[in-house]
Amino acid sequence: MPQRRLIVEAEVGLHARPAATFVQTATRSPASVTLAKGDGTPVNAKSILSVLALDVKKGDAITISTDGDGAEELLDELASIAGAP
């Protein structure tokens, strides 16, 4: 399963609007998508409540994982939403 580990650079982390955009983008893909904060347990990245519960702030390390066709493009788009350079 392809994955991307990055440091969140967005000023507000993944809260409110950025989290909603992240989830909407993940939901557009038929592939499974998970998100983990640090070395924590991955959660379903298509669930707004799960993403918000991670309480991802600027400077936190996250890991985004997905599978299926277009995985690398999806990872690029999700990383961009998280504010990764």
Q: How many CB atoms lie within 10 A of CB 9?
A: 13
Number of domains comprising the chain: 1
Domain of 46, in residue numbers = 3-81
Catalytic residues: 15
- Rounded to whole angstroms, how far apart are CA atoms 5 and 76? 11
**What is the tally of helices (H) and strands (E) in the chain?**
3, 4
- Rounded to whole angstroms, how far apart are CA atoms 69 and 45? 17
pTM over 0.75? The answer is yes
Q: Write out pLDDT tens, residues 28-81.
A: 999 999 999 999 999 999 999 999 999 999 999 999 999 988 999 999 999 999
Q: Are 73 and 34 in contact (CB under 8 A)?
A: no
Q: What is the CATH classification number for the domain harbouring 62?
A: 3.30.1340.10
